[in-house]
């Protein structure tokens, strides 16, 4: 039984003893900052079983708790809110009970697995700003779910087939003159992306020529030689033409190598890959089974549909009249295949932009109708677009921001701001470069992840690298400040400890310590961390972890400014405050790891 459960139990006992009534539930919440107290019981819901004045009821229960619960020191009642003040010993006992704050809040892995899909790019262009939000969200949610006790498989499905891929291939074949990433000194994904753009440029020229000859816009688009050749290339690929497949494999290899460089630079990884070229024929057997079970029906033209009108949706096409699959067919087949490949998977999270909200609503509903029990545990991690202020980091067309360029820009911005502050003059050039990248990436990741995924983001690079306010660098700087404190005491022999460090100190502290209110507030926030992890996992929201970390850091800086850590003459107080600072640093590092953000030892 945790302490909150204990208070709930004691309040129920109080109501039973005082009012001879049975209270089924107790509503508890943290005490508002403008009132004295640590935890508050809301009296109003109790009026259903206890008749009377809520203030008087609160007073009676408060007196009972002070007499019967040693951790409750005193109380006050404001209207219908019973605010309880917990003793210093309660907080000290909690603090002493944590053996290692670096693993605090994390739950041992269970047996059931969760699959998290993110990134899922096309192989005809490099990763861009939209992918950055996608991979940061997906990776962070996967790490949070692991911390909450889930076994997690990180995966993506790579869109490596289709007419858009053939466009890049055809343009390279026509205009590439045998160019490779090595000869061009260019990442493979960028090289292939350039030919995708080249196709579009040449295609538009052909359209304009045909329109000048009297064709309509639609006729010109359909009859242009390039699009006809791309369509023929797709047919050859689907027929297994050796030359076409060899070119496809060669160019995709270039792209995959480029993607891996970008993923490594961003700091994300995957456990398993699925490829659309392998999965696009999946799902047809599921369609046949669904027809037998009346989940799907066939129209007169031979097309197959799922009628979702009773569920408030539309009829959904799942197989064309010519027997070819649509995206829904493939997604149904891929979901089932993933569970076949990993039988312990009990749910999946799809990290995909909000323009696909309807698609996933339909996908999940169809899987449920097909009788898959794990379909109850599917979640679409929907997110909004990322916009940039006008004139910032324009790409080749001024609209799409290349992920690699964005990372380089963030590193450069971190360099400019850090050099202005002038706090790292003693760093070597290598140390500076590493620090700039840690700060730049931390700024980017935190700025994106601190926002609720559903909200659209206006991303301002310079604002994100500010060393003040709710930013990654501000939190990183606080971590580095604590490391500086710990280094100062690392070789000092205190009477209560030797070799004080970030992770743990072989010391327990008793009631001899008179806790400063700032110390108590800091421990209260530390205590919330396990619950924050569970809430973030339940809501698939890294924003909860990000903003909790900012609150922790704000409280630490208030503690740092108001309470002498190393300047106190009391050795026990000094040891306690050093250990408390180390605990904060450990949780910052732990929480930022869940966000995929590194913390520097010095800044």
pLDDT value of residue 505:
43
pLDDT value of residue 463:
87
Q: Is residue 568 part of a domain?
A: no
Q: Is residue 134 part of a domain?
A: no
Closest by CA to 310, choosing from 299, 321, 294, is: 294
Which of 273, 300, 319 is a domain's end point?
273
Mean pLDDT of 312-316: 95
Q: Is residue 223 part of a domain?
A: yes
Which of 246, 273, 300 is a domain's end point?
273
Whether residue 269 is found in the same domain as residue 168: yes
Mean pLDDT of 365-383: 97
CATH number, position 18: 3.30.1360.70
pLDDT value of residue 461:
83
Whether residue 167 is found in the same domain as residue 265: yes
Rounded to 10°, the helix 517-527/542-562 angle is: 160
Which of 273, 295, 321 is a domain's end point?
273
Q: What is the mean pLDDT of the chain?
A: 92
Whether residue 169 is found in the same domain as residue 262: yes
Confidence check: pLDDT of 364 > 80: yes
Instruction: Give 388's pLDDT tier (boundaries 50, 70, 90).
Output: confident
Confidence check: pLDDT of 484 > 90: yes
pLDDT value of residue 230:
96
Instruction: Give 419's pLDDT tier (boundaries 50, 70, 90).
Output: confident
Left (φ > 0), alpha (ψ -120 to 50) or beta: where does 240 sit? Answer: left
Distance set, CA 237 to CA 199, 243, 249, 282 (Å): 18, 9, 11, 17
pLDDT value of residue 393:
40
Q: What pLDDT, in 10s, does the model give residues 204-261?
A: 999 999 999 999 999 999 999 999 999 999 999 999 999 999 999 999 999 999 999 9
Provide the greatest CA pair distance for the chain. 95
Instruction: Give 1's pLDDT tier (boundaries 50, 70, 90).
Output: low
Mean pLDDT of 441-468: 92
Q: What pLDDT, in 10s, does the model give residues 403-415?
A: 999 999 999 999 9
Confidence check: pLDDT of 465 > 50: yes
pLDDT value of residue 502:
39
30 phi and psi angles, rounded to 5 deg: -60, 145
Question: What is the C-alpha separation between 359 and 305, in angstroms, rounded?
Answer: 14
Q: Is residue 254 part of a domain?
A: yes
Q: Is residue 12 part of a domain?
A: yes
Mean pLDDT of 528-538: 97
Q: Which of 329-333, 467-471, 540-544 has the highest mean pLDDT?
A: 540-544
pLDDT value of residue 398:
41
Over pLDDT 90: what percentage of the chain? Answer: 82
pLDDT value of residue 389:
75
Mean pLDDT of 480-497: 74
CA angle in degrees (0–180, nearest 5) for 444-445-448: 85
Mean pLDDT of 328-348: 95
373 phi and psi angles, rounded to 5 deg: -65, -35
Mean pLDDT of 462-486: 93
Q: Is residue 45 part of a domain?
A: yes
Total number of domains constituting the chain:
2
Confidence check: pLDDT of 494 > 60: no
Q: Is residue 335 part of a domain?
A: no
Question: Which domain does 29 fall in, by range?
Answer: 3-86
CA angle in degrees (0–180, nearest 5) for 452-346-115: 50
Q: Is residue 502 part of a domain?
A: no
pLDDT value of residue 378:
98
């Amino acid at each position: 039984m945790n302490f909150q459960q204990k208070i709930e139990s004691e309040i129920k006992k109080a109501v039973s003893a005082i009012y001879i009534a049975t209270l089924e539930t107790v509503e508890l919440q943290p005490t508002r900052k403008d009132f004295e107290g640590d935890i508050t019981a809301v009296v109003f819901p109790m009026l259903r079983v206890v008749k009377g004045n809520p203030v008087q009821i609160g007073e009676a229960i408060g007196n009972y708790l002070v007499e019967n619960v040693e951790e409750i020191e005193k109380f006050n009642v404001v209207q219908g809110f019973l605010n309880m003040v917990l003793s210093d010993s309660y907080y000290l006992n909690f603090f002493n009970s944590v053996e290692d704050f670096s693993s605090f809040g994390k739950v041992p892995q269970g047996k059931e697995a969760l699959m998290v899909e993110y990134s899922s790019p096309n192989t005809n262009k490099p990763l861009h700003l939209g992918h950055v939000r996608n991979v940061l969200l997906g990776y962070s949610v996967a790490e949070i779910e692991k911390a909450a006790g889930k076994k997690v498989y990180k995966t993506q499905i790579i869109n490596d087939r289709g007419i858009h891929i053939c466009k890049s291939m055809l343009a390279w074949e026509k205009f590439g003159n045998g160019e490779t990433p090595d000869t061009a000194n260019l990442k493979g994904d960028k090289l292939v992306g350039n030919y995708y753009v080249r196709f579009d440029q040449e295609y538009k020229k052909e359209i304009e020529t045909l329109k000048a000859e009297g064709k309509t816009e639609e006729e010109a688009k359909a009859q242009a030689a390039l699009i006809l050749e791309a369509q023929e290339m797709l047919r050859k690929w689907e027929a297994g033409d050796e030359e076409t497949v060899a070119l496809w494999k060669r160019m995709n290899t270039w792209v995959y190598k480029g993607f891996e460089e970008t993923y490594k630079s961003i700091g994300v990884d995957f456990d398993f890959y699925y490829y659309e070229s392998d999965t696009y024929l999946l799902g047809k057997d599921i369609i046949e089974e669904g027809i037998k079970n009346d989940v799907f029906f066939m129209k007169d033209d031979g097309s197959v549909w799922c009628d979702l009108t009773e569920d408030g949706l539309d009829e959904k096409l799942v197989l064309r009249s010519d027997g070819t699959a649509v995206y829904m067919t493939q997604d149904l087949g891929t979901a089932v295949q993933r569970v076949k490949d990993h039988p312990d998977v009990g749910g999946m999270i799809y990290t995909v932009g909000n323009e696909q909200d309807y698609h996933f609503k339909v996908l999940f509903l169809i899987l449920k109708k097909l009788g898959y029990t794990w379909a109850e545990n599917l979640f679409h991690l929907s997110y909004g677009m990322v916009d940039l202020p006008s004139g910032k980091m324009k790409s080749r067309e001024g609209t799409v921001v290349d992920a690699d360029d964005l990372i380089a820009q963030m590193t450069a911005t971190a360099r400019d701001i850090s050099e202005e502050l002038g706090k790292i003059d003693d760093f070597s050039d290598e140390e500076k470069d590493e620090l700039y990248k840690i700060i730049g990436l931390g700024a980017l990741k935190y700025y994106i992840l601190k926002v609720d995924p559903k909200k659209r983001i206006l991303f301002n690079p310079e604002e994100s690298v500010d060393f003040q306010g709710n930013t990654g660098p501000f939190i990183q700087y606080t971590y580095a400040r604590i490391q500086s404190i710990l280094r100062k005491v690392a070789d000092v022999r205190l009477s209560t400890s030797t070799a004080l460090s970030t992770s743990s100190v072989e010391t327990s502290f008793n009631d001899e310590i008179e806790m400063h209110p700032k110390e108590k507030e800091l421990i209260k926030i530390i205590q919330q961390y396990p619950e924050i992890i569970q809430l973030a996992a339940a809501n698939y929201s890294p924003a909860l972890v990000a903003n909790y970390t900012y609150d922790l850091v704000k409280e630490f800086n208030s503690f740092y400014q108001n309470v002498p850590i190393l300047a106190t003459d009391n050795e026990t107080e000094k040891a306690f405050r050093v250990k408390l600072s180390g605990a904060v640093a450990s949780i910052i590092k732990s929480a930022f790891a869940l966000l995929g953000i590194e913390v520097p030892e010095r800044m």
